[in-house]
Amino acid sequence: MPKITPIEMGRPRVLEFFAGIGLARMGLEKAGFSVVWANDIEKDKKSMYDRQFGESTAHSYSLGDIGEVGASDLPGGTSLAWASSPCTDLSLAGTRKGLAGSQSGTFWHFVRILEELGEERPQSVVLENVTGLATSHGGEDIRSAIKAFNELGYSVDVLAIDARRFLPQSRPRIFLVGSQKPPEANEEGPSELRPEWMQWIFADPELRTHRAVLPSPPAPNTGGFSETVEEMNLNDSRWWDSERTEAFFESLSPIQRARVLSMQKGVEVKYRTAYRRTRKGKPVWEVRPDDISGCLRTARGGSSKQAVVRLGKNRFQVRWMTPLEYARLMGAAEYDLSAARTNQALFGFGDAVAVPVVEWLAENYLLPLIAGTLEAPAFQGEVRKYG
């Protein structure tokens, strides 16, 4: 009987740094990659990761500080290194200490490990982060990151992709795609993936960059959040009581109150999301006017949690967003949540990258890049749906 080669053996192998609960892995493997190694420091994230993916001799997960990981700890024969490094010090919601910060500074350990790999380092790398990376320290942080990749032999492309193109969630992110064998085809000027505000990066003579020709991503969604809402009884205990709901309403601005009252009186049931903000020293709630979720965030601190508002048929109800809704809004509706605590799940998803964004990037850019076939748009004609 002839030997049967497992399908994973023919797939490009990936190292997944700052893996979290594995949403990058989900997107990469949907596109045809095989993630063979992962690392993260959070035990709660690893427990969710293990529950979702199980154990396999073809994959290992290194739990602990990336500062303690060395090249000798990694499997060989990999084509891609993916890093969704912590964004705390780069995000507009964070301290903006830049890449020198205690958490986002872990990026430099990623660079160190790549350097240690020498000729065995992957052909391509991806750094995913918040768009604040492009402006942190007046742009010096992203210049430093690109220079670091350049010194390791990678030319770098920079893309801005909002998860809203695939999901009903506003979640803009930036992707640095490094390649030791960049494509010859170049795209000039601003585009959907490389807007005007990032053109200075490609014009910087000190940086080695490229702009791959890619297909246009799907247009941004204008609705769809209501379709992700978890079904539950109107008397479910997760809906806030009348006193708490009234306090929510009283905190709204006059304009928002009028909008909420109008939707409450409507014959159609509508769902909206809301964030708690601080305005003039006072905590207030702000309800989004559209059928799109705000950017999901980690659930550490009440202001980062997002509420769901149900309006229509003379009813007005409010509750916290559920883990299943978080999963759906990240393109991971099938994620195994059976053993996850609520805050554990909210933190895991709020600190992750949206699955269909990774899948689109992997299918249309990373796979052809590694195969050496990225000279023209990956496809033309009908746009494929993701998520």
CATH number, domain with residue 202:
3.40.50.150
pLDDT score, position 387: 57
Flag whether 333 is in a domain.
Answer: no
Q: Identify whether residues 237 and 212 lie together within a single domain.
A: no
- Spatial CB neighbours of 387, under 8 Å, sequence gap ≥ 6: 166, 167, 331, 354, 355, 356
276, part of any domain: yes
Burial of 313 (0-12, 13-18, 19+ CB in 10 A): exposed
Residues 281 and 193 in one domain: no
Give the structural domain span for 12: 7-220+349-371
Please tell me the distance from the alpha carbon of residue 123 to that of residue 48, in angstroms, as a whole number.
30
- pLDDT of 254 reads 94
Instruction: Say whether both 38 and 59 belong to one domain.
Output: yes
Pair 95, 236 in one domain: no
Q: What is the pLDDT of residue 381?
A: 37
* Active-site annotation holds for 295: no
pLDDT tens string, the chain, 387 residues long: the values are: 444 434 455 899 999 999 999 999 999 999 999 999 999 999 999 999 999 999 899 999 999 999 899 999 999 999 999 999 875 554 444 444 455 555 556 888 999 999 999 999 999 999 999 998 888 889 998 999 999 999 999 999 999 999 999 999 999 999 999 999 999 867 678 999 999 999 999 999 999 999 999 999 999 999 999 999 999 999 999 999 999 999 999 999 999 999 999 999 999 999 999 998 888 888 899 999 999 999 998 765 445 789 999 999 999 999 999 999 999 999 999 999 999 999 999 999 999 999 999 999 999 999 999 999 986 443 333 444 555
Q: Residue 192 falls within a domain, yes or no?
A: yes
Which one from 87, 161, 354, 367 is the annotated catalytic residue?
Answer: 87
Tokens standing for 98? 């830049």
265 and 152 belong to one structural domain: no
Confirm whether 183 is domain-assigned: yes
Question: Are 80 and 185 part of one and the same domain?
Answer: yes
Task: Classify residue 1: in a domain, yes or no.
Answer: no
Residue given tokens 């008397």 in the structure block: 235
Q: Is residue 45 part of a domain?
A: yes
* DSSP-assigned states of every residue in 34-87: EEEEEEES-HHHHHHHHHHH---TT-EEEES-GGG--GGGS-SS--EEEE----
Q: Are residues 252 and 135 in the same domain?
A: no
Q: Are residues 274 and 311 in the same domain?
A: yes
Residue 326 forms part of a structural domain: no
In a domain, 17, yes or no: yes
- Residue 123 and residue 174 in one domain: yes
Of 14, 103, 31, give the one whose Cα is nearest residue 65.
103
State whether 299 and 364 are in the same domain: no
Structurally, the chain folds into a number of domains equal to 2
Q: Does 193 share its domain with 261?
A: no
- Beta-strand pair 13-17/34-40: parallel
Asked whether residue 300 falls in the same domain as residue 163, the answer is: no
